[in-house]
Chains A and B, each alone.
Chain A
Amino acid sequence: GQGVEQPAKLMSVEGTFARVNCTYSTSGFNGLSWYQQREGQAPVFLSYVVLDGLKDSGHFSTFLSRSNGYSYLLLTELQIKDSASYLCAVRGNYNQGKLIFGQGTKLSIKP
């Protein structure tokens, strides 16, 4: 069946980096996006990728490998305010209105 998987939790240290992984299995592929959700707030769009490779957006970078059904979100020079849940979402070919979300990875950053 179709699904998007993410680790539930991730910890890192202020000033370093964190890599949030996402694996997916869908009928076809029409793009993958990442959202940030702070505690008690709405998800906010961060990045969208549809081609293989690394997309550098400064503080956030996104990698995609379609053949492996794998993506990661890389956060560099971490700040305490980056502590949040990061959601991966994939759109397949079938029923294109449907965006399938992973459970989200809660990133905790220590000083």
Chain B
Amino acid sequence: GGIITQTPKFLIGQEGQKLTLKCQQNFNHDTMYWYRQDSGKGLRLIYYSITENDLQKGDLSEGYDASREKKSSFSLTVTSAQKNEMAVFLCASSDWGGSSQNTLYFGAGTRLSVL
């Protein structure tokens, strides 16, 4: 088995602040993802990475940067936090190819609040 660790669990920021969320996985998976989950809405893909140093934009990439420093880690940066923003950011990983791509393993999430 493996685990995905997201840090921090809770993040409180100020409007306009640059905030970084981190994710580590020990599944040895090729692909990693960042999703945003707002209350009452589905998961929306921000960025994903097929392999180390690869970066692909999702539907919600504007306002975010991401970095796949090595196979096991994928970080997300909120470039300028928006006032009253509240959301949960979920990191996930999967193997690449075939049915494995549909089996995502998620971290526990980072809950963001912006004052």
Chain A positions within 8 Å of B, measured between CB atoms, are: 4, 8, 30-33, 35, 41-45, 48, 50, 87, 89, 91, 95-104
Among B70-78, B79-87, B96-104, which stretch is in contact with chain A? Answer: B96-104
Q: What number of A-B contacts does a CB cutoff of 8 Å give?
A: 62
Give the distance in Å from the alpha carbon of A48 to the alpha carbon of B107 in the complex: 20
Min CB–CB distance A47 → chain B (angstroms): 10
Q: Contacts of A32 on B, CB cut-off 8 Å?
A: 102
Further 16 A-B residue pairs, CB within 8 A, beyond A31-B101, A104-B42: A33-B103, A35-B104, A42-B90, A42-B106, A43-B43, A43-B106, A87-B43, A91-B101, A96-B101, A97-B56, A97-B101, A98-B58, A99-B104, A100-B45, A103-B40, A103-B42
Say whether B42 contacts A48, CB under 8 Å: no
